[in-house]
Structure 1
Amino acid sequence: MEEMEGPEIKKIARFSSCRGVAFEINPNRINPFAIGSPPKQERIGTWLRLPWTRTSSFKVHSNATISSRSRSSSHFCDIDIDFYDDDDEVEFLAEVEDIEKQEKGNGVKVQKFQPKTDPPSSSRLFIIMLDQGLTVYKQLFLFCLTLNLVALALSAAGHFQYGRKRAALFSIGNILALTLCRSEAALRVVFWFVVKTIGRPFVPLRLKTAATSFLQSIGGIHSGCGVSCIAWLVYSLVLTLKNKDETPVEIIGVAFTILSLILLSTFAAFPLVRHLHHNLFERTHRFAGWMALMLLWLFIILTISYEPSTQSYDLTMTKLVKKQECWFTLAITFLIIIPWLTIRKVPVHVSTPSSHASIIKFEGGVQAGLLGRISPSPLSEWHAFGIISDGNKEHMMLAGAVGDFTKSLITTPPKHLYVRTMHFAGLPYLVNLYQRVLLVATGSGVCVFLSFLLQQPRKVDVFLIWVAKDIELNFGKEMKEMLSKYSKEKVVVHDTAICGRPNVAEMSVEGAIRWNAEVVIVTSNPEGSRNVLRACKRANIPAFGPIWDS
């Protein structure tokens, strides 16, 4: 395969650097891939070799040619931090003019370049709330909420006496359900069980994709039970206030405080607040939840031990163990405590391949598909990352510099970090359900998939499409070497600094068809993931990507 000549490479790199993303200049309008007017190369079908960050060759998709101008990257997984510069724009237009003159001199008919105005893109919040349709997440939310509201309405109408008498129990039951749906220990067991039972070749693909949709969207049950818990607690308080002479004021006060804390936690979890003020959401959710749990124990002890006939308290262990409320609350407490028992302060080695990303290394191998949490201060904040591991002596995390914590890893690399030694399962773990999977990633999102390429033996045949900018410059040689160990026929790396910005959605569909993949799994921002999922849906290819409440 022929390599590009040095001057040609430089020209491509120069006109690919404007505004921090690549531009694609082509005289025809066939396909939105690759660079136009490329130097002569040896083709094999629609696949060709291009230089890896100007030093070596690697397989990239280049099924060329459309005149287009890429807009600034919106992918949170992309490492794209250059800003608009008028001088860059002038340089870009001048180079386009030079290329056109050169081609005209060679007798090539060239269309005049017309800069396009970028279409308005949807905001992350709009995509989250309105632009994803009736997702499985929303269906689970509505199902849980409807089920509870029907039971509540029947209780209020006098047709469900058990609900009327035990309204507080239904509220606590919803808290238990929502805690289970967020318990990393419980979900790790559930994910493992699902993979072991239906992750076999003879199980129908439809069942596997249904299980993936459900497990990925289980947060809908969490949210639905959260709102239902509030409804039952309000109902319980209304009934109590109707008979306030039979209930001491301290019990009513504790119940009102619990309701206030749960309301505060719910409002903090609303997408608008969570999206704009994530640290506020995380701390409010944690500390308000802990306080509500402590007050719940106090509420149970007071209500069980109170004797209306004597208007006094008489607490015995026999009374406690006979009440369902006590056992539900005990289960809630156990589930909340488990992850905190696994916290350890461990030594880490942080390397910085660029000013845009850091690689954090830990001791010990980790199974492919698992994710981990790290923190500089356990009570303050936790950050989840995909884990890269060959399954043997060590594992690592790739952190793009997008927030205060991830930037501090580059400016002041720590020697120790707090970790939760119990890693948790998410969408990447469900790759193990299938036999042939196409993995699509942009920027640092590739880290959740690399373990599947590195670990032996492989139970799943995986294929990878990775789109990022200046790969060796931003991610370092180590990442390049990891990919070089995997079959070149199963990896497509598209460096936007060299090849221009591609249509990732169309690349995903073509890749899935080419490799006969059962399913496509993508890690990108909400808009990028949505585009890939829609394209795959139109092509009748099962596809999954991260949701806002993954």
Structure 2
Amino acid sequence: MENHEGSLSKRIVPNSGDLMQRSMSHASSHFCDLELELEDDDYDDDATLPDIEEGRDEYEKPDPVPLPFPLPPAKSKREKPKPPPSSRLSVILLDQGLFTVYKRLFVVSLAVNITLLILAATGNIGYARKRPALFSIGNILALTLSRSEAVLRVVFWLAVNCLGWSWVPLRLKTMTTSLLQSLGGIHSSCGISAVAWLIYALVLTLKHRENTSPEIIGVASAILSLLVLSCLLWAFVILTFSYDPTTDSYSKEIGSRLIKNQEFWLTVVITILIILPWITVRRVPVRISSPSGHASIIKFAGGIKAGILGRISPSPFSEWHAFGIISDGKDEHMMLAGAVGDFTKSLVANPPSHLWVRQVHFAGLPYLTNMYNRILLVATGSGICVFLSFLLQPCSAEVCLLGHPKEKVIIHDTAVLGRPNVSQMSVDAAKRWGAEVVIVTSNPEGSRDVVDACKASGIAAFGPIWDS
């Protein structure tokens, strides 16, 4: 089928047939307590957000249809206990491989900068030696672009609309997905490189201090010591280009001198990108309900496209929290917040009538579902929330959802069948569904296991990486 026909073909794949029943286990405090009945083999296109909110049995039938996918052997209940979770450093260096796309981007970007820096220091690139601050600001611009939610929203949209056609090679799509998911490698590398170039600029300034002023040296030193690059960048640029070493004074024609310099315009772009998300901050009315003490449902006006995430906060100056958005794309959308921290617990105990939001929502890995023709989505725990929008609104891809939510939405009953082998289930489902790619949302270990198992079977798979 053509990728842009707006197909509503979706399937929810239960993990068991005759044994499908509710588990009597206790609710986990780490996942939502919302009872969603996703047990039917055929998706009901009439399901709505109120159905999900109220936990209505729109997805159930009196007699469940037998499984299209055979259940893989469950893990033995007597298996050895799992080792303690790996440290963050070991996950970065070992668990996710030594040659991930993230690390390749980091190494390539850093190698280019180090090479240019060495050539500048040895006098082989005169331009870089004369303008080290420009290269530092250029790196700051690159790291800002790679993390700008507004810019990435446009980039993801372009990727889906340019590559989301059936005739586009699958290899190109998966390469693009890997690149977009790993832009943090460029962000980290450019941050280190910006500091390196700024150190070089400071060294040259101190070496030729007769051609500079104490203010410039002081500001440059403060930037390095405080690492508040974006805050003091304007002061550094203005002081540098307004100072005239021949008169040992600052020129009054600062405006005309600034607009002729590349550093000025790069700083303008960086400033706009940093400010942009904050000028869209608004205080909006919300409706919050708590099906239990373990989670809250936050409802907002306005429909949102599938695969989009948003940030909310109790105050514009406090920390911001990102959640996946559930929406039918029509009149409203909602977020599901597990009560695991002070802010999310307060939503249950004392639900506010208004919250602060950033109106520029950002695209995550699930948004790239729209770039493929047939895709398997694998979710455990509250990770299923980010995928629900693909079941509630038209999607250009044919979507198959393999859900194994923990404790409350039970499809595979661990009390009867033991812990399932989600990795093998994902491989089997992907093969039978004919999925081009698998996207998983789970805890770090679960996501890694599913991705590794799929890749070992020759199936492209993506899941959250360590800095997601």
TM-score (ref. length: structure 2): 0.84
Q: Check 1:356–1:64 CA distance in 2 against 1; reply closer, same or farther (3 A cut).
A: same
1:188 touches 1:424 (CA, 8 Å); kept in 2?
Answer: yes
2:454 maps to which of 536, 545, 548: 536
Q: Aligned partners of 1:65 and 1:208: how far apart in 2?
A: 33
Distance 1:4 1:118, change over 3 A: closer
CA distance in 2, matches of 1:432, 1:527: 26
**Cα contact 1:17–1:497 (8 A) shared by 2:** no
Relative to structure 1, the CA distance from residue 495 to residue 358 in structure 2 (aligned partners, 3 Å threshold; closer, same or farther) is farther
The one of 51, 68, 76 aligned to 1:68: 76
Alignment match, 2:110? 145
C-alpha distance 19-252 of structure 1, shift in aligned 2 (>3 A): closer
1:471 aligns with 2:436: no
Structure 2 residue aligned with 1:254: 219
Tell me if the contact between 1:301 and 1:315 (Cα under 8 Å) persists in the aligned partners: no
Measured on the aligned residues, the alpha-carbon RMSD in Å equals 2.7
Partner of 1:527: 445
SS of 1:548's equivalent in the other structure is: coil
Change beyond 3 A, Cα 1:3–1:544: closer
Following the alignment from structure 1 to structure 2, what is the Cα–Cα distance between the partners of residues 342 and 416?
A: 16
What pairs with 1:188-227 in structure 2 (closer than 5 Å)?
188-227=153-192
Aligned counterpart for 1:502 among listed residues 405, 420, 426 = 420
Confirm or deny: 8 A CA contact 2:23 2:414 kept in the other structure: no
Match of 1:328 in 2: 266
The answer to whether structure 1 residue 117 and structure 2 residue 55 are counterparts is: no
**CA distance in structure 2 between the aligned counterparts of 1:2 and 1:293, rounded to whole angstroms:** 57
8 Å contact kept, 2:376–2:437 = yes
Task: Indicate which of 130, 155, 163 corresponds to 2:94.
Answer: 130
1:479-527 deviation line (CA, Å, top 9, x unaligned): xxxxxxxxxxxxxx43546654211111110110111100000001111
- Contact 2:28/2:407 (8 A) holds in 1: no
CA pair 2-467 structure 1, distance change in 2 beyond 3 A? closer
Provide the C-alpha distance between the structure 1 equivalents of 2:134 and 2:298, rounded to a whole number of angstroms. Answer: 45
Kindly provide the amino acid, as one letter, of the partner of residue 454 in structure 2: C
- The residue type equivalent to 1:371 in the other structure is L
- Residues 257 and 2 (structure 1), Cα distance of their counterparts in 2 relative to 1, 3 Å cut: closer
The CA deviation string for residues 171-193 of structure 1, in whole angstroms up to 9 with x for no partner, is 01100110011111111111111
Alignment partner of 1:469: what SS? coil
1:387 to 316, 319, 325: 325
Give, in whole Å, the separation in 1 of the partners of 2:185 and 2:200.
Answer: 23
Equivalent-residue separation in structure 2 for 1:211 and 1:339 (angstroms): 25
Query: Does the 8 Å contact 2:283/2:354 carry over to 1?
Result: yes
Mean Cα deviation higher: 129-138 or 140-149:
129-138
User: Do the aligned residues in 1 keep the contact of 2:379 with 2:402 (CA within 8 Å)?
Assistant: yes
Q: Which has the larger radius of gyration?
A: 1
Describe how 1:408-487 pairs up with structure 2 within 5 A.
408-456=346-394, 458-471=395-408
Q: Which amino acid aligns with 1:257?
A: A
**Per-residue deviation, 1:66:** 5.1
Note the C-alpha offset of 1:352.
1.3
Tell me by how many angstroms 1:399 deviates. 1.3
Measure the CA separation in 1 of the matches of 2:207 and 2:124. 19
Indicate how the Cα distance of structure 1 residues 20 and 412 shifts in structure 2: closer, same or farther if over 3 A, else same.
closer
Task: From the superposition, tell whether residues 354 and 57 of structure 1 become closer, same or farther in structure 2 (CA, over 3 Å).
Answer: farther
Instruction: Measure the CA separation in 1 of the matches of 2:407 and 2:212.
Output: 68
How many aligned positions are there? Answer: 422
* Counterpart for residue 201 of structure 2: 236
Structure-2 change in CA distance of 1:504 and 1:315 (3 Å)? farther
Q: How does 1:5-154 map to 2 (within 5 A)?
A: 13=23, 63=71, 65=73, 68-69=76-77, 115-123=78-86, 125=88, 126-133=90-97, 134-154=99-119
SS at match of 2:412: strand
How far 1:396 sits from its partner (Å)? 0.6
Q: Does 1:305 align with 2:270?
A: no
Shift in CA distance, 542/3, structure 1 to aligned 2, threshold 3 Å: closer
Instruction: Say whether the 8 Å CA contact 1:508–1:536 is kept in structure 2.
Output: yes
Distance 1:420 1:153, change over 3 A: same
Instruction: Using CA pairs under 8 Å that are at least 6 residues apart, name the structure with larger relative contact order, 1 or 2.
Output: 2
| Matching residue's letter, 1:118 | P
2:131 counterpart (145, 151, 166): 166
Instruction: Tell me the equivalent position of 1:186.
Output: 151
Instruction: Give, in angstroms, the shift of residue 470 of structure 1.
Output: 3.3
CA offsets, 1:378-415, max 9 Å, x none? 22211111110000010011112222222221122121
SS of the equivalent of 1:359 reads: strand
CA contact (8 A) 1:469 1:497 kept: no
The answer to whether structure 1 residue 353 and structure 2 residue 291 are counterparts is yes
TM normalised by structure 1 equals 0.72
1:547 is aligned with what amino acid?
I
Counterpart position of 2:252: 315
Task: Tell me which stretches of 4 or more aligned residues in structure 1 moved more than 3 Å.
Answer: 1-5, 16-21, 54-62, 64-67, 493-500
Letter in 2 for 1:539: S
User: For the Cα contact (< 8 Å) 1:375–1:417, is it kept in 2?
Assistant: yes
Shift of the alpha carbon at 1:124? 5.0
Instruction: Work out whether residues 139 and 193 of structure 2, in 8 Å CA contact, stay in contact via their aligned partners in 1.
Output: yes
2:402 alignment partner AA: I
User: Identity of counterpart residues, as a percentage?
Assistant: 60
Aligned residue identity for 1:494: H
The SS at the match of 2:95 is coil
How far apart are residue 447 of structure 1 and its match? 1.0
Of Structure 1 and Structure 2, the greater helix share is in: 1
Unpaired runs of 5+ residues, structure 2, are: 1-15, 31-56
How much does 1:64 deviate?
6.0
Do the aligned partners of residues 20 and 232 (structure 1) sit closer, same or farther apart at CA in structure 2, a change above 3 Å counting?
Answer: closer
Q: Which amino acid aligns with 1:180?
A: L
**Using the alignment, how far apart are the partners of 1:413 and 1:19 within structure 2?**
21
Q: Which amino acid aligns with 1:176?
A: L
Q: Does 1:513 align with 2:420?
A: no
Q: Which moved more, 1:309-318 or 1:201-210?
A: 309-318
